Amino acid sequence: GRGCLDYREVIIETGVISQANGSARCRLGEGTDVLVGVKVEIGSIEIDGADEEVAAIKAKRGRVVCNVECSPIASQQFAGRGADDFNNELTQTVDRVLNGPHGGLDLEKLCILPGEECWVVYIDALVLDYAGNILDTIFMTIRAALFNTRVPKTTVSEDKEVEISGDDEEWERIEGWEQVPVSITLNKIGSRHVVDATPLEELTTEAKLHVMVSKSGKVCGIQKSGGGSIEHSLLNEMIQTGRSLGQNLIINLDKILHKEEELMVRNSRVGKLGFFAAT
Amino acid sequence: MSRQELIGPQGLRQDGRRANELRKIKCKPSVLSQADGSSYIEQGNTKCLAAVYGPREARQKGQVIHNKASINVELSLAPFSMSERKKRTKYDKRLLEIASAVKQTFEPVIMTSLFARSQIDIYLQILQFDGGIIQICINAATLALIDAGIPMLEYVCACSAGIIENTILLDLNNTEESFDTPELTVALLPKSEKVTLLQLDSRLQVNEFENVMRTAAKGCKEIYEVLEDATRDHIKDLLNRSNPIN
């Protein structure tokens, strides 16, 4: 009963994994469920093999490592080696966007000792339930998890020893999370396009267009998947639709995230949702 | 931290429990939309999600058994589940060993002879790890199998127990496990009191074995109560939803 451009109900929870620096879980309607854990660890700056210019830039930045895994619990097709190709594809897509120039995160702030040590942000996405529209959900959850991530404060002593502040209160929010783009997947069915497809709708899709949009409305990435083709005029229309939907989505997501954080700060009981609300 | 600090002066453990107390268990069946049966279990800080698919047609000809169903167990550990981020492939030896242990635990309990030539898949996903991996996998799998409607002889409940400085501890967490503590994991069929899995890490004195075993068995029965309550509540829920007049 949804309109062509309507999303299913989005439920987001943050801070679900206590051992991770940041985490979030997003559920679309009754189906697609993605859990993202962000861990921040100290690593060395890698500049081997790069030429002088690139090396100079890399020496002052932190790193982001992305990984997407479709758990076999999500769908029968992901058991054994079945998920490997799909995982690879998703990982590469997410990695390209987050490590690209418009990935959003302020990598320079993640540098601890230029040329030697930096923070490495490991973003691990786990798909728990598959009911269509996986890439959009992954990006939404990554954005929420980064909102929830806190990076410890470091002090560098004179003999280049890095000390991590043990005080939880001093941990800072990761910079640049609001600039992380979201993706809007438009599915071409016949001559119309549909957003947020269910598995049944995905089976009838000829071609999919993923449009990555940032908060300011800039299109940060486009990817086409699927075996069919998209006409030029339809392509333009889809990108524009993707852009406006993307901006709306970001505004709504941010509202939900800020509201949840407010509730937690006021210490009122945030009801856990979905399966985390056991008993 | 030395072994003596694991049990404080008042007999309280690191997380405030007494020696024979289980961690707080929260569980819920039927949490996923795609799987035939699923469950989510939290034992203290260890969280596990289980999904069961089946009985369905066996995917590999080699796995087909002519007179019963074959059981396939896969275990994965999320990279963010431990305090140090580590990406483990599905074919990590330790995970394969645990998956195999879970499979052997359920083989005599599931009525596989009812489903010849088919396959039952149990997929386990650990979201957060704080010790007790085998026991939580077995408990989660039990709930998921019941939710999938696969006939079993009984519930299978698992619990671990160990001994430190002559005190028997029930349900060890990660810190307690990592001190070369003898840890006995027992999977029990609570009504018939049959043991389907017994695993011991480290060394245990033979004369202490009996006591540790009994403590673990008692822990299993307590876990059984929790699992059974969760299943009954879920069924009551389903009945209420389909009969709104009642």
Domains of chain B by start residue, with CATH: 28-242 (3.30.230.70)
Q: CB of A12 within 8 A of CB of A260?
A: yes
Residues in chain B within 8 Å Cβ distance of A73: 32, 35, 38, 49-51, 123-125
Longest dimension (CA), chain A: 66
- As a whole number of angstroms, the distance between CA A192 and CA A5 comes to 11
* A75 closest CB neighbour out of B27, B34, B42: B34
The interface predicted TM-score (ipTM) is 0.83
DSSP state of B59: S
Gap between the Cα atoms of A117 and A62, Å rounded: 8
Chain B residue numbers touching A34 (CB-CB < 8 A): none
Would you state the pLDDT for residue B4? 61
Q: Of A196 and B73, which is predicted with more confidence? A: B73
Q: Give the per-residue pLDDT at B190.
A: 93
Q: Which residues from chain A sit within 8 angstroms of residue B51, using beta carbons? A: 72-73
Q: Is the pLDDT assigned to residue A277 strictly greater than 50?
A: no
Chain A interface, mutation test: which of B127, B136, B139, most A Cβ atoms within 10 Å? B127
The C-alpha atoms of residue A115 and residue A86 are separated, in whole angstroms, by 35
Q: CA dist B223 to B87, B140, B226, Å?
A: 31, 11, 5
Nearest to A223 by CA among A90, A104, A125: A90
- Rounded to an integer, what distance in angstroms lies between the CA atom of residue A58 and that of residue B75? 38
Question: Residue B26: closest CA among chain A residues belongs to which residue?
Answer: A278
Task: Take residue A96 and report the two structure tokens written for it.
Answer: 């390209």
- Which of B47, B80, B91, B147 to mutate to test binding with chain A, by most A CBs within 10 Å of its CB? B80
Residue indicated by tokens 């993202």: A36
Minimal C-alpha gap between B245 and chain A (Å): 25
| Winning range, highest mean pLDDT, from A189-193, A211-215, B85-89, B103-107 | B103-107
Subunit contact A79:B121, Cβ cutoff 8 A: yes
Chain A environment of B129 (Cβ under 8 Å): 19
Q: Which residue of A has its CA nearest to B144?
A: A73
Which residue from B53, B82, B87 is facing A76, i.e. has the nearest CB?
A: B53
Rounded-to-integer distance, Cα B198 and Cα B195, Å: 7
- Range A259-274 average pLDDT: 67
Q: What is the pLDDT of residue B1?
A: 52
Q: Rounded to a whole number, what is the distance in Å from the CA of B123 to chain A's nearest CA?
A: 6
pLDDT tens column, A50-102: 677 777 777 778 888 999 999 888 887 887 777 888 899 999 999 888 887 77
CB contact under 8 A, B31 and A274: yes
Q: Is the pLDDT at A278 greater than 70, yes or no?
A: no
Residues of chain A found within 8 Å of residue B33, distances taken between Cβ atoms: 30-31, 129, 131
Q: For residue A150, what are the contacts with CB-CB under 8 A and spacing of at least 6? A: A21, A22, A168, A171, A172, A173, A174
Residue of A69, A73, A278 with shortest CB distance to B28: A278
pLDDT bracket for residue A279 (50, 70, 90): very low
Inter-chain CB proximity B49 and A73 less than 8 Å: yes
What DSSP assignment string belongs to A101-159?
TTS---GGGGEEETTTEEEEEEEEEEEEE-SS-HHHHHHHHHHHHHHH-EEPPEEE-TT
pLDDT at A23 over 80: yes
Residues of chain B with pLDDT under 50: none
Buried-exposed string A10-22: b where 16+ CB fall within 10 A, e elsewhere = bebbbbbbebbbb
Q: What is the pLDDT of residue A272?
A: 54
What percent of chain A has a predicted confidence (pLDDT) above 70? 94
Higher pLDDT, B7 or A12: A12
Question: Which residues, in sequence order, are CB contacts of A29 under 8 Å at separation 6+?
Answer: A8, A9, A131
The answer to whether the CB of A182 falls within 8 A of the CB of A213 is yes
Contact (CB<8Å) B34/A76: yes
User: Min CA distance, A175 vs chain B (Å)?
Assistant: 21
Binary contact (B80, A122; C-beta < 8 A): yes
Q: How many CB atoms lie within 10 A of CB B115?
A: 18
Q: Does A69 touch chain B (CB under 8 A)?
A: yes
Residue A164 scores a pLDDT above 80? no
Residue A271 pLDDT: 53
Q: Identify the residue with better confidence: A170 or B131.
A: B131
Residue range A112-136, pLDDT digits in tens: 888 788 888 999 999 998 888 889 9
- Measured CA to CA, the distance from residue A216 to residue A102 in angstroms comes to 11
Kindly give the interhelix angle for A134-148 and A232-265, rounded to the nearest 10 degrees: 30
pLDDT tens track for A224-258: 888 888 888 888 888 888 888 889 889 988 888 88
Take residue A57 and report the two structure tokens written for it: 């830039």
Alpha carbons B54 and B33: distance in angstroms, whole number? 14
Give the pLDDT score at A118.
85
> Any residues with CB less than 8 A from the CB of B126 and at least 6 apart, and which?
B46, B47, B48, B75, B76, B77, B78, B81, B133, B136, B137
Distances (CA, A) of A218 to A98, A182, A242, A246, B246: 14, 11, 11, 10, 55
| A31 touches B at CB < 8 Å | yes
- Strand ranges, E, within chain B: 25-29, 37-43, 46-57, 70-77, 118-128, 157-164, 167-170, 183-189, 194-201
Q: A237 by DSSP, 3-state: which?
A: helix
Asked if residues B213 and B168 have their Cβ atoms less than 8 Å apart, the reply is no
Put simply, the answer to whether A17 touches B40 (Cβ < 8 Å) is no
How many whole angstroms separate alpha carbon A17 and alpha carbon B98? Answer: 23
Contact A145, A37 (CB under 8 A): yes
Chain A residues in contact with B53 by the CB 8 A cut-off are 76
On the 0-12 / 13-18 / 19+ scale of CB atoms within 10 A, B88 is: middle
Beta carbons within 8 Å of A275's beta carbon, 6+ residues apart = B28, B31, B32, B40, B49
A262 touches chain B (CB under 8 A): no
Nearest CA in chain B to A38: B80
